[in-house]
Structure 1
Amino acid sequence: MTNPIKTQRDGAILQVTLDRPKANAIDLQTSRRMGDVFAKFRDDPDLRVAVITGAGEKFFCPGWDLKAANDGDAVDGDYGVGGFGGLQELRGMNKPVIAAVNGICCGGGLELALAADIILAADHATFALPEIRSGTVADAASVKLPKRIPYHIAMELLLTGRWFDAQEAHLWGIVNHIHPAADLMHAARAMADLIASGPPLVYAAIKEIVRDAEDSKFQDAMNRITKRQLASVDTLYSSDDQAEGARAFAEKRDPVWKGR
């Protein structure tokens, strides 16, 4: 079996392409490889942003490989270090990830996209959570969607499994921007370049704060930040980059971020 995960490194940006014909479905082995890729991205100090997309123009990812499941892959099997798709349960992922949805994005594929921080979609992309039709639950989406979009819309999508297009996904805030298919990867790269030019220690702090505060009361979260109880915040406040930001502002020049 050829490697279903293609990676391309360009400066501080890592492009991860799910390339598993015919539909880019994810089995246990593929999920474990994705976890390894994203863990190495997380731990590499020279990489700042990742872009996840699918090979071809028809499929981003339809999620769980039902054929592999029928052949013996257990739904509760070993998905690897980051859980299904290598990303949604990866601990300490404090770097930005952009999903470039280039086609059909359903089931676990939509959950994979939801694990990213920014979602860009081709104008022909379509979405669904059809797990209910195969007698199972879209577990990660059941946790995330009702917190991110109107409750009744989330429940409709979960309970009916109906398909919706990129325009509706944008309407409900599931995707950030829609682009013509030919422009999608250019737009994703432009977004990645913009983020990669920024302060990586601040991004790490933002991501850790957002995760920590998800189920916290406002004042409790603020207390942990101001008391420097979050590792990324403590690192940021003691960093050269923190001083560089103030120095560059005073000197009326662009800051030079070093990530330390």
Structure 2
Amino acid sequence: MTGELVTERHGAVLIARLNRPDARNALNAALIDAIGRAVTGAENDPRIRAIVLTAAGDRIFCSGMDLREFASGGGASGSSEGMAGFDRLLRGELTVPVVGAANGTAVGGGLELLLGCDVIVAAETARFGLPEVKRGLYPAGGGTAIGTRIPLAVALEMTMTGEPIEAARAYEVGLINAVVPPEQVLDAALGLAESIAGNAPLGLAAVKELVRLGVTDPARAAQGNKELQRSVFSSEDAREGAAAFMEKRKPVWKGR
């Protein structure tokens, strides 16, 4: 896939790169559609076990909504498949793990895009913010749920002042998982994604769903745990994991 989004395979990892550097990688309808299609395709491809989401350039990961398109009345619309996939990414509902590789600053919809990722590696020069209140808007693409990842006081400060925070503080409050020099962001994110991708697909999907639900809906998490425990613990992969441990070899996962 080329154009607004560039993708490449790296073993079991799909790297998806926002590719609008001249527009600060702003989210227009075409890019949103391309992201949604790419993550849906990855989720349905058993050869892909993790996604790394990054961007072109070395200063801006994503500046959020394309305000030029928005002001002209062009809204962020696309194919139903693309929009559905993009929305599921923002809500953290993809079954495939997603690693954010913030090569630069992420604000507005750009930060919301990262909030949909499971873990985030960021450049030490990056900044993170939700400035929508400064534009007469509010972060309706998932930004108001930032309090599920960071302390409430910090979430309210970021959303109500609209002011960004530096990468160091973002790490301190738990918004991101690692801070590295800009030139190391992709390699660090890829290494993390490969480590994740080496684990059992059914177990990964289960922990991703249950850990997120444990924060937002503990009752559903408890019920989901009962259901997933039955299916995951009786799977071929569960038997393979035990056998590989006993035989001192790497497991061969089948995702079933």
TM-score (norm 2): 0.90
CA contact (8 A) 1:18 1:53 kept: yes
Amino acid paired to 2:4: P
Q: Which runs of 5+ in 2 are unaligned?
A: none
Amino acid paired to 1:94: T
2:16 paired residue number? 16
2:181 paired residue number? 180
1:88 paired residue number? 90
1:11 deviation in Å? 1.7
Amino acid paired to 1:203: L
Secondary structure of the corresponding residue to residue 6 of structure 1: strand
CA contact (8 A) 2:18 2:25 kept: yes
1:203 deviation in Å? 0.3
Q: Quick one: distance in 2 between partners of 1:234 and 1:43?
A: 23
Q: Quick one: distance in 2 between partners of 1:95 and 1:44?
A: 10
- CA deviations 1:114-152 (Å, max 9, x no partner) are 100000001111111111111000124443212221111
1:204 deviation in Å? 1.0
CA contact (8 A) 2:150 2:173 kept: yes
Q: How do 1:67-216 residues align onto structure 2 when only pairs under 5 Å count?
A: 67-74=68-75, 77=77, 80-83=83-86, 87-89=89-91, 91=93, 93-216=94-217
Q: Which runs of 5+ in 1 are unaligned?
A: none
Q: Quick one: distance in 2 between partners of 1:69 and 1:224?
A: 39
Q: Quick one: distance in 2 between partners of 1:224 and 1:58?
A: 41
Q: Quick one: distance in 2 between partners of 1:236 and 1:122?
A: 36
2:255 paired residue number? 259
Q: Quick one: distance in 1 between partners of 2:164 and 2:216?
A: 30
Q: How do 1:41-60 residues align onto structure 2 when only pairs under 5 Å count?
A: 41-60=42-61
CA contact (8 A) 2:148 2:215 kept: no
2:239 paired residue number? 243
How many equivalent pairs are there?
251
Secondary structure of the corresponding residue to residue 255 of structure 2: coil
TM-score (norm 1): 0.89
- Bigger shift: 190-199 or 114-123? 190-199
Secondary structure of the corresponding residue to residue 121 of structure 1: strand
| Percent of paired sites with the same residue | 37
1:73 deviation in Å? 1.7
> Compared with structure 1, are the counterparts of its residues 238 and 180 closer, same or farther at alpha carbon in structure 2 (3 Å cutoff)?
same
> Compared with structure 1, are the counterparts of its residues 204 and 166 closer, same or farther at alpha carbon in structure 2 (3 Å cutoff)?
same
> Compared with structure 1, are the counterparts of its residues 217 and 99 closer, same or farther at alpha carbon in structure 2 (3 Å cutoff)?
closer
Q: Quick one: distance in 2 between partners of 1:56 and 1:114?
A: 20
> Compared with structure 1, are the counterparts of its residues 193 and 132 closer, same or farther at alpha carbon in structure 2 (3 Å cutoff)?
same
Secondary structure of the corresponding residue to residue 35 of structure 1: helix
Q: Quick one: distance in 1 between partners of 2:144 and 2:134?
A: 19
CA contact (8 A) 2:92 2:117 kept: no
1:211 deviation in Å? 4.2
> Compared with structure 1, are the counterparts of its residues 238 and 144 closer, same or farther at alpha carbon in structure 2 (3 Å cutoff)?
same
When the two chains are superposed, the root-mean-square deviation of aligned CA atoms in Å is 2.1
Secondary structure of the corresponding residue to residue 99 of structure 2: strand
